[in-house]
A = this chain, B = another copy of it.
């Protein structure tokens, strides 16, 4: 393990004092061209690399930002993270990541872990407890920006317009004549879920309707609750004629349930997915989906943080709202079709 080269040795090799070497390397303040040249050359020859830890020690800035999401393996997050990482890298920042698994306690632990490491900023995705008390204290240590999450503080964040998205999707299904639209969501606590449920309700309200409470499946439950929930819904006396699926895993579960019970979209039921993936694109029939620009989300949240990291600009509340687009594919049809087919005995019976 060869000894690390320090700025001290560079200074000596260049025939200047360490202070001068530092100023030369950082191009900060008044240094002679001559000194700069000598120091640069010495640094290059010795293969000097500044020690970021020591720099952080003095400057109180680590050049690291932390990112917390509920699950790194979620393909949607994975793509957002890639975009965040990319944008941050161009500004010289490194990215520390971790999964909260949607557990408030774990989030606190991780935030502390990051804080002890003196991250310069924090990006927080949705989590169980949206605005825990420690978030306010935290803001004193550096900027915290929200990723599809609501918490007080100076309120900076990037949000997807899930409300409008769900509204749009629900309207579409209502226009096709569906009213028994099952809403399958992994939870109603987190912002995305909350907003989507509200959008769904509002679409009904626009027509003076109200969704059947039983069709809203927002219980927090096991990962693949969607399969069993969908199956039981399909077997109930007033089965839904359409499914609005919130998330890839949910879509998987619903599609499996459909297959299992011998139904197909769009003939027996219509299916819309909120969140677009390989699966929705390639499934037969291709699934009509609500999509949004994940790269834009990542880039925007990184940029927002970067702006707040730059102490020269004043910190004012800043919320960025990104819109969703509906991609029409093959999985939806007018109610008539489903009604016409429902009487078939095989289809009515419970699995």
User: Which one of A81-89, A152-160, A234-242 is at the B interface?
Assistant: A81-89
List residues 132-182 of chain A with CB under 8 A from any CB of chain B.
Answer: 140-141
Chain B residues whose C-beta falls within 8 Å of the C-beta of A64 in the assembled complex? 96, 117
CB within 8 Å of B: which A96-131 residues: 96-99, 110, 112-118
Q: Is the CB of A95 within 8 A of B97?
A: yes
A94 at the interface (CB under 8 A from B): yes
Known: A52-B116, A115-B49, A278-B279. A72 touches B81 (CB 8 A): yes
Q: How far is the CA of A332 from the CA of B64 in the complex (A)?
A: 49
Digit string of A274-300 for contact with B (CB within 8 Å is 1, else 0)?
A: 000111011110000000000000000
Interface size classification for chain A:
35 or more
Report B-chain residues with C-beta under 8 Å of the C-beta of A99. Answer: 82, 85-86
Q: Is the CB of B57 within 8 A of A54?
A: yes
The chain B residue with its CB closest to the CB of A140 is B1
Tell whether A53 pairs with B50 under 8 Å between CB atoms, given A2-B140, A85-B99, A98-B95.
Answer: no
Report if A252 contacts B (CB, 8 A): yes
Whether, in the assembled complex, A21 has its beta carbon less than 8 Å from a beta carbon of chain B, the answer is: no
Q: A72 to B78, Cβ gap below 8 A?
A: yes
Residue on B nearest A75 in the bound complex, by CB: B75
14 contacts between A and B (CB under 8 A): A1-B141, A57-B57, A64-B117, A72-B81, A72-B82, A72-B85, A73-B82, A85-B99, A89-B110, A97-B97, A248-B278, A252-B282, A255-B282, A256-B282
A232 within 8 A of B: no
A220 at the interface (CB under 8 A from B): no
**A12 close to chain B: CB less than 8 A:** no
Add 5 more A-B contacts to A72-B82, A94-B96, A95-B98 (CB < 8 A): A52-B117, A53-B117, A78-B78, A92-B113, A256-B282
State whether the Cβ of A214 lies closer than 8 Å to any Cβ in chain B: no
Q: In the complex, what residues of B have CB within 8 A of residue A282's CB? A: 252, 255-256, 279, 283
B49 engages A53 (CB within 8 Å): no
Produce 1/0 per residue, A62-75, CB < 8 A to B: 11100000011111
A51 vs B64: C-alpha distance when bound (angstroms): 15
Tell me the complex Cα distance, A290–B278, Å: 19
What residues on B are CB-neighbors of A54 within 8 Å? 57
Listed residue (A92, A95, A117) with the most chain B CB atoms within 10 angstroms of its CB = A117
A79: Cβ under 8 A from any B Cβ: yes
Task: Say yes or no for A56: interface residue by CB 8 A criterion.
Answer: yes
The CA of A85 and the CA of B86, in the complex, are separated in Å by: 20
- A259 CB-CB contact with B under 8 Å: yes
**Roughly how many angstroms separate A71 CA and B71 CA in the complex, as a whole number?**
17
Question: Considering only CB atoms, which chain B residue lies closest to A295 in the complex?
Answer: B73
The complex places the Cα of A78 from the Cα of B118 at a distance, in Å, of 25
Provided the pairs A252-B278, A255-B282 are in contact, do residues A89 and B85 lie with their beta carbons within 8 angstroms? no
